[in-house]
Amino acid sequence: MTRLSSEFVTLDSSERIIPTWRRDLANFRIAAAGSKSVWEIRRTDPIQTKVSLGSYEPGERRGGLSVFGRVSGKWEIHLPKEQKKKFSQSIDFILLGLASTEISIWQTGEAGEKEIARWTIEIGDAASPGCHFHTQITLDAADDKFPAALSVPRLPGLLHTPMDALDYLLGELFQEEWFRASSRGTNVVNAWASCQKRRMINLLQWQTERLSKTTGSPWTMLKRQKPDIGMLIKEI
């Protein structure tokens, strides 16, 4: 995604923020078994897109706003407790607690920059009341809508990671341009597609399997299901 999104995000995002975030995870791979970490793209230092001059509407129907987006996120992760061989690297990590990615859209113009939309992509824990993989709208109390004390709606989602969020955001802000860039048959596109496709297929297969075994309201039953560790990364 660093290379795929480079034409659509700020230079600082592609050359510093995303590579640093990736490097933090790579460094954590060699930590001791059972180690914990907060893997984070800080809200004060987010990935930021270039300005979309109405490209959130397709074709000649350009939108009337000039906007850009930001992506940040925080995942609390740990390494499996199984002993590793000396100097070996872990290939997997386990979520332990918070797993939240925030997307915001900002309007820009003569009056400066103003945040006009915000939502989060969440992965629940064992006690989360909504669908395990969900999206929430998170506005401030001053907006007089969706107050912080109201944690609904929790909208079911297929997306999991900050890079999924960036893919989604670019597809929304640059409707035609991002489609062309992300549908080319290049090695960069294929590498990203294979990673994302595996997780999405695993999630859909898991949901289908759970639905086939439940009774009662399918949605009510499905939203209470919790995946086994490793569900997203198993081979397809």
Domain boundaries, position 174: 11-184
Strand stretches in 61-111, DSSP E: 66-78, 94-109
Write down the pLDDT at residue 123: 82
219, pLDDT greater than 90:
no
What pLDDT was estimated at residue 180? 94
The number of helix segments (H) and strand segments (E) in the chain equals 6, 8
Give me the number of domains the chain comprises. Answer: 1
Count CA atoms closer than 13 A to 200's CA, side-chain side.
Answer: 10
Alpha carbon 67 to its chain's center: 20
Residue 59 domain-assigned (yes or no): yes
Confidence of residue 83 (pLDDT cuts 50, 70, 90): low
Query: For residue 56, is it within any domain?
Result: yes
Q: Is 92 inside any structural domain?
A: yes
Inform me whether the pLDDT recorded for 182 exceeds 80: yes
Residue 205 within any structural domain of the chain: no
Longest dimension (CA), the chain: 59
pLDDT over threshold 80, residue 24: yes
- Whether 74 and 100 have beta carbons less than 8 Å apart is answered as yes
Cβ within 8 Å of residue 233, ≥6 positions away: 92, 198, 199, 202
183-205 pLDDT, tens digit per residue, is: 998 999 999 999 899 999 999 99
β-pair partners for 36: 78
Task: Give the span between the Cα atoms of 161 and 27, in whole angstroms.
Answer: 19
| Span 3-16, average pLDDT | 96
